[in-house]
Amino acid sequence: MFELSRDSHQPLVDQICERVTQLVRDGQLPAGARLPSIRKLARQVGASPFTVVDAYDRLVARGLIEPHAGRGFFVTQRLLSAPLAAIEALPELGSDALELARQCLQQRGDVIAAGSGFLPESWLLEAGSAGVLTRLVRGRRTRPWLPCPAEGLGELREQIAARLLQHGIAAPAANIVTTYGASHAFDLLARILLSPGDAVLVEDPGYFVLFEQLRAHHVRLIPVPRHADGPDLAALEAAARAHRPRAFFMQTLVHNPTGSSADPAHCHRILSLAEQFGFALVEDDVYGDLYAGSAVRLAQIDALRHVIYVGSYTKLIGPALRVGFIAADAALIAQLVQRKVLSVLSGSTLLESYVSEVLDTGRYRRHVEHTRARLARLRRDTRAALASAGIEFEPAPGQGIFLWGRVPESAPVDELVRRARAHSILLARGSLFSAAQGCRQWLRFNVAHSNSPPLVQFLRESLRAA
């Protein structure tokens, strides 16, 4: 039925629950299917009957399976009722950016999270474990329950500086401040750099949560079309000349939602325009570690003169590990530290120590390499599966977590997203990723969640019927 990993730090009972949930979600165990008896499954996976009893009890409590007296355990016939009720209780699943963000954070095992921004839970467990926490408590390093310096844990900032230097970015620890993830970093920067009414350039399509954060600061969003090789340079120059923007927020590598990366020529020209028109460049490199090959970043070329560099470990280590950072010139860092104290007082020594330990032991490097290779394989398979269902893609393959697919004009995306709810499928409509409210026939797919047979079948049937 499946195998358990004896080398994993994940308890066997959790592995059984996760594997059964995955089989049900993927349609390999349909509603009404009978599960192996307790003793049979124990023999198959090499676990004790008590472990299987514990796992089955948990799955029953979650409503995934149900016991039938004298007959065994069966996949519940009402499998879709619970998630469907939860979804329909919402005003419109995925109809606006904040609602989509909330749904992505829930990570429900009984919903196909095709539109999610996060990796599956089982992937994230590879980077850290309970053993990391044990070493933090018993080791001689910074005690995790003590207050954290406002600028961030010293040893972590030193590690970040060393990693940046490997990317060709000279940013000593004094030029780095830690944050509660990239979203906190963007909010701090907006509070310092921007005033109501300022023009701010953003990529279109781009990161939908960033758009909402900037709108909350009452600035004017000026969209710049994003192509496979980077932002449209002619449009960027025209927007800079017409609006005299205060800043340009840009993802150089492994762009969300398209998976594209800007080439070196674009990077040099963008820096030239920033100098000519006097706007700050906020480089969002949250997914940069997933880039395969020799990368060129804006901060690498600019040496933090016009570039403010934002990174995060949340996406790859785990959503609960809200640890990001900003690298910038010393004067801006001083302002950011003051603003951070006024907003959240300080960071978390526990979270920052955890990330520091994962970096120090080499776990993060190995995890990134494995995840990068895994995503590349799955990206090809997922793209082919979605294309067979009728989703159209640009020729450039891209990299990373996301695929940016176009739905034929005959199938309105809003209706497709609504119908997906009835099948417990979370889709992310393209218009959310467009500051100009364009991209209405596009969807963002998370490759780690979108190779599911029920999803592909739903799309195939929906697009054929349109």
Question: The domain spanning residue 329 has which CATH number?
Answer: 3.40.640.10
Asked if 185 and 200 sit in the same domain, the reply is yes
CA distance to 130, 274, 378, per residue, from 371 (Å):
20, 34, 10
Asked if 282 and 176 sit in the same domain, the reply is yes
Residue 20 · residue 64 · CB < 8 Å = yes
Return the amino acid letter for 349. T
Asked if 266 and 351 sit in the same domain, the reply is yes
Asked if 331 and 184 sit in the same domain, the reply is yes
Identify whether 104 is part of a domain: yes
Q: What average pLDDT does this structure show over 372-393?
A: 96
Rounded-to-integer distance, Cα 462 and Cα 99, Å? 24
Does residue 68 sit in helix, strand or coil?
A: strand
Identify whether 185 is part of a domain: yes
Residue with token string 């909330």: 102
Q: What average pLDDT does this structure show over 236-242?
A: 98
Residue 431 · residue 95 · CB < 8 Å = no
Task: Please state whether the peptide bond connecting residue 408 to the residue before it is cis, i.e. omega within 30 degrees of 0.
Answer: no
Per the prediction, the chain carries an average pLDDT of 90
Rounded-to-integer distance, Cα 224 and Cα 237, Å? 10
Rounded-to-integer distance, Cα 119 and Cα 116, Å? 8
Identify whether 293 is part of a domain: yes
Asked if 153 and 55 sit in the same domain, the reply is no
Number of domains forming the structure of the chain: 3
- 415: which DSSP letter? H
pLDDT tens for 270-314 read 999 999 999 999 999 999 999 998 899 999 999 999 999 999 999
Identify whether 44 is part of a domain: yes
Pairing label, strands 230-231, 220-227: antiparallel
Asked if 195 and 99 sit in the same domain, the reply is no
Rounded-to-integer distance, Cα 429 and Cα 417, Å? 7
Domain boundary among 361, 389, 410: 361
pTM equals 0.79
Report the range of poorest mean pLDDT among 31-45, 73-87, 164-178, 421-435.
Answer: 73-87
Asked if 28 and 114 sit in the same domain, the reply is no
Domain that holds residue 282: 142-250+260-361
Query: Between the ranges 97-106, 111-120, 175-184, where is the mean pLDDT highest?
Result: 175-184
pLDDT tens for 257-272 read 999 999 999 999 999 9
Identify whether 134 is part of a domain: no
Domain boundary among 361, 388, 411: 361
pLDDT of residue 145: 80
Asked if 443 and 460 sit in the same domain, the reply is yes
Residue 110: band (very low, low, confident or very high) from pLDDT cuts 50, 70, 90: confident
Asked if 70 and 38 sit in the same domain, the reply is yes
Q: Which is more confident, 87 or 141?
A: 141
Q: Which is more confident, 270 or 87?
A: 270
Identify whether 243 is part of a domain: yes
Rounded-to-integer distance, Cα 8 and Cα 91, Å? 40
Identify whether 1 is part of a domain: no
Asked if 226 and 301 sit in the same domain, the reply is yes
Token pair in block for residue 211 = 């758009």
Identify whether 86 is part of a domain: yes
What CATH code is carried by the domain that includes residue 38?
1.10.10.10
Q: What average pLDDT does this structure show over 359-369?
A: 89
Asked if 288 and 397 sit in the same domain, the reply is no
Domain boundary among 335, 361, 387: 361
